[in-house]
Structure 1
């Protein structure tokens, strides 16, 4: 028998996921990773450097809010809004809390991403074409309950994606692009229900994408998505798009085009590829979007009856369009995982559509694989942490000592208690999932999402000191500051923007391009890889090498410190920050 949709769902299968449990899961995923650490190498500290430069121009010269610079160079991504937000919060921060305050708007962005995805899935699955088949004698899922359960599943699918964890906890334009792309997705999904709110969301999303360095992506997503909404099969319970809606979208697009032109944000960034690079993109998508992509492919197969006319069915056409555009942007802009990040809400939406069509055997396979995978990962994290604290087992402790020389483990009661509570909660969840309980269409994604949140929380609690030591510039800058002091002036030559930002933040240094030694700026810092290129110029200016300091966890990264060849009189007053 041919059904109008492949979804056959009873009312008993759309039980509501407890709101408190869902909120706690989101909090356990969002908050860890933003607190208790320094900015990490390289994009994280580099983006923070732009914010720091805007907030305190004295650290590196004059700064323009319309053209942020770091070490005298502009941002290649041409992002403005994330740097503006971070700089404003830095200006409000007490001394020593600049990095923590800079992350506050990004916590909000990740939260908006999760909320936008939930409401987008809810709105799309309220469409009659996405609803389950009506039973002959009743008992099928009610539209609102079905949409709510599907939205829960979509949010769980997004949280489960492996590629989301690290990039969504960095203060980079990638997170702002993810947030605003999700806002556009949400606004287009709800346009036929709430014109004003949806138009505001689409406008904020498209303008935010434009100011985050992705004006072309904003136009492709917004205009293409609006065409799908305009040609979609009408829902009798909702109003149809009118000329006013089309005019609003045109005005929003014109605003984005004008803004990008006025701020000089248009750039040609297409990177040529060959067919050999297809496997690189495939490998990236396989791990980055796991486990959502197999479910998304399954959904496209099961909903293939509607897929042939996908533009008529927004629950398929809209997320599929977002996936095509964002994956295409990833291909044409250098196969970057940061570009692929914006595809996750749409892929999670398609994954949610697979839930009412999953066979019991496939759901059981997902559960057992997830249970084993994340349980083993959590066990490894605990074993290595115990080895760091006690030296037993000896092999993991030796590996840590080899990979992070000079690292001194520290015990935190709060981190231990949080990790222990999360592990106990995981055990209780596994017991619930493997025991007898009522059916729910979102049940197959509970363990993947919770497992991803568990491992991320364990990494950012038990392993946070180790990760901070390995991924930040703090240990390197601390060694430099023992020689040069903190809060003074440093000249630089051949530094990367990440290294310069680290000196500005950790050493509170005021940076000056290389010139002759000065009494109030008596030290020169240079990246060791540029020593041979700049050695002649450095000597001619009157500098002599003092020492070279390696980054403890990267033997290929060395900063060289130079002092004046001739003794200089000490300045009367060394300017501080």
Structure 2
């Protein structure tokens, strides 16, 4: 028996949530955690490093990283650099730049809501942004500097455009073409490939095939104009950079070495990555199995299968590209929210309430251990994982976390019965947990993940008189962090210029970088983050001994 809504006994949040309620919840979820911490390893540090270089040197056409060309599509870096420049009076560069992720994420959620309205109806549509934002995999990337978020926004805007082709054909085609062109500027050609078969599918399903085909061909011209403006500027001013960019694109388009293995990994990742959208999409397919040929179900099904194929073959089984699987899965899952049986809806609701209440309590207990030393055993574990960290009581952070916890308790008590209650509680609980982590745990997490102390220690260890620093086995995120925090730039140890350097910086063992420091090199510094105890995890600085010659390397 389907779930029946009822009037609330207490004055709580109406379900489905109104526009302002939904907007406040999503804004709170998205912008919490974007500020208040340093650049972290991997994509966050690399992206902020590129933005830092762009703001410092003004190379808007040709993004660079730590002084070296970084051939990549520039849209996210442009928006992040503009945000960093406009808010430089208020926030440090890395925090202001990271706000670009919040902007792109909100746009993606908004376009998902609009696409759900076109495919389904206004009553069911609010479930779409709740499902997208509530997906576990989405949480990891929505709060970091991540160019794939701009591509995700382009995909959601393209889906919204395609769903309008019959009702508002010109506007739909313009949205699709703009999304396709801007998506290319966000992350290159490969991530936009899934949209082309989906557009052909929409034309085939259209009531006015010829008109839709002509309009979508025109939209392709619009996308080429948007993308071509940057490419033409590169051709005129930096042909070498353009050649490097296209070489990277062609390398990516050559495909994965093991696409079947990538597909297997994605399928194994999806059950937790796309929770709860994946099981709800599965329920939609079962509950609406007689309507699978209708456009509201056929379009997201086809889009998901095409995206799964493209990600497996060209983008690989990585967490960031997997974001592109979420929008069609969410659009497919929307009818499943309102068609759940009463028992399943109640079970999902109770699962969300119990899960997030438990983890919220655990978060508070862990915070007490970090700040007050109780429970003692948990406090010892926190110190072991982050040696040297000292917790401090912050009135504002604790007050905000307490207020969020009380609002969560109020929501549980006052929420009316509704098919939307389960997903509303899930999204609210995820927001509560993330807000507690961002307010109570962030100093401890940042202490263990930032390279600020490592970079500062290295900067103090560098001789005042030096020629240059060669580096080996340093990931882009390390190069970006050293440049961002202390303007430390290095040259590749195997390059002609790097072989003449009098300093050598190695991450991990010299054997990992195929470097020899025997005879003529002396270690003068070693450092790493607090939890990095093994020699293979640390940075090592060597200095060429006086009178010794010979390049580092084999």
TM-score (norm 1): 0.81
Show the counterpart of 2:113: 118
- Cα distance in 2 between the residues matched to 1:38 and 1:45: 9
- Cα distance in 1 between the residues matched to 2:145 and 2:30: 13
- Cα distance in 1 between the residues matched to 2:295 and 2:144: 32
Closer, same or farther: CA 270–364 of 1 in aligned 2, 3 Å: same
- Cα distance in 1 between the residues matched to 2:438 and 2:187: 29
Choose from 287, 290, 295 the match for 1:305.
290
More displaced 10-residue stretch of structure 1: 503-512 or 420-429: 503-512
- Cα distance in 1 between the residues matched to 2:96 and 2:139: 20
More displaced 10-residue stretch of structure 1: 328-337 or 338-347: 328-337
Show the counterpart of 1:525: 505
The Cα offsets for residues 110-156 of structure 1, whole Å up to 9 and x where unpaired, read as 1101111111101111xxxxxxxxxxxxxxxxxxxxx2221111121
2:350 maps to 1:368: yes
Closer, same or farther: CA 539–29 of 1 in aligned 2, 3 Å: farther
- Cα distance in 2 between the residues matched to 1:316 and 1:195: 20
Choose from 486, 492, 497 the match for 2:476.
497
Closer, same or farther: CA 261–301 of 1 in aligned 2, 3 Å: farther
Closer, same or farther: CA 250–43 of 1 in aligned 2, 3 Å: closer
Show the counterpart of 1:400: 382
Secondary structure of the 2:73 match is: coil
- Cα distance in 2 between the residues matched to 1:217 and 1:509: 33
- Cα distance in 1 between the residues matched to 2:299 and 2:231: 28
Secondary structure of the 1:526 match is: strand
More displaced 10-residue stretch of structure 1: 398-407 or 316-325: 316-325
More displaced 10-residue stretch of structure 1: 505-514 or 151-160: 505-514
- Cα distance in 2 between the residues matched to 1:53 and 1:408: 33
Show the counterpart of 2:77: 83
Q: Does the 8 Å CA contact 1:79/1:213 hold for their aligned counterparts?
A: yes
CA displacement at 1:517 relative to structure 2 = 11
- Cα distance in 2 between the residues matched to 1:382 and 1:407: 18
2:255 maps to 1:270: yes
More displaced 10-residue stretch of structure 1: 370-379 or 476-485: 476-485
Secondary structure of the 2:126 match is: helix
2:460 maps to 1:465: no
Show the counterpart of 1:178: 152
CA displacement at 1:509 relative to structure 2 = 3.0
**After TM superposition, which residue ranges in structure 1, 4 or more long, deviate above 6 angstroms?**
6-14, 259-262
CA displacement at 1:22 relative to structure 2 = 1.3
- Cα distance in 2 between the residues matched to 1:288 and 1:564: 48
Show the counterpart of 2:539: 559
Show the counterpart of 1:573: none
Closer, same or farther: CA 103–532 of 1 in aligned 2, 3 Å: closer
Choose from 316, 330, 333 the match for 1:351.
333
Q: Does the 8 Å CA contact 2:527/2:540 hold for their aligned counterparts?
A: yes
Secondary structure of the 2:538 match is: strand
Q: Does the 8 Å CA contact 1:191/1:199 hold for their aligned counterparts?
A: yes
Secondary structure of the 1:560 match is: strand
CA displacement at 1:287 relative to structure 2 = 0.5
Show the counterpart of 2:423: 445
The Cα offsets for residues 362-384 of structure 1, whole Å up to 9 and x where unpaired, read as 10010111111111111111111
CA displacement at 1:539 relative to structure 2 = 5.5
CA displacement at 1:25 relative to structure 2 = 0.8
Show the counterpart of 2:27: 27
Secondary structure of the 2:123 match is: helix
- Cα distance in 2 between the residues matched to 1:184 and 1:387: 48
Closer, same or farther: CA 74–305 of 1 in aligned 2, 3 Å: same
The Cα offsets for residues 232-268 of structure 1, whole Å up to 9 and x where unpaired, read as 3649xxx995454243234246558867986524432
- Cα distance in 1 between the residues matched to 2:77 and 2:204: 38
Show the counterpart of 2:168: 194
Secondary structure of the 1:163 match is: helix
Aligned alpha-carbon RMSD (Å): 3.4
The Cα offsets for residues 463-499 of structure 1, whole Å up to 9 and x where unpaired, read as 111111222212322332343399x996231122111
Show the counterpart of 1:249: 219
Closer, same or farther: CA 537–24 of 1 in aligned 2, 3 Å: same
- Cα distance in 2 between the residues matched to 1:91 and 1:490: 30
Show the counterpart of 2:235: none
Q: Does the 8 Å CA contact 2:260/2:312 hold for their aligned counterparts?
A: no
Matches within 5 A, 1:3-18: 16-18=16-18
- Cα distance in 1 between the residues matched to 2:405 and 2:463: 43
More displaced 10-residue stretch of structure 1: 66-75 or 385-394: 66-75
2:502 maps to 1:508: no
Secondary structure of the 1:463 match is: helix
- Cα distance in 1 between the residues matched to 2:444 and 2:489: 29
Q: Does the 8 Å CA contact 1:180/1:205 hold for their aligned counterparts?
A: yes
Show the counterpart of 1:326: 307
- Cα distance in 2 between the residues matched to 1:247 and 1:278: 31
Q: Does the 8 Å CA contact 1:292/1:348 hold for their aligned counterparts?
A: yes
Secondary structure of the 2:54 match is: helix
Q: Does the 8 Å CA contact 1:490/1:509 hold for their aligned counterparts?
A: no
- Cα distance in 2 between the residues matched to 1:161 and 1:523: 46
Show the counterpart of 2:372: 390
Closer, same or farther: CA 532–217 of 1 in aligned 2, 3 Å: closer
Matches within 5 A, 1:93-112: 94=88, 97-112=92-107
2:189 maps to 1:215: yes
Name stretches of at least 5 consecutive residues in structure 2 with no aligned partner: 9-13, 233-241, 548-554
Closer, same or farther: CA 381–7 of 1 in aligned 2, 3 Å: closer
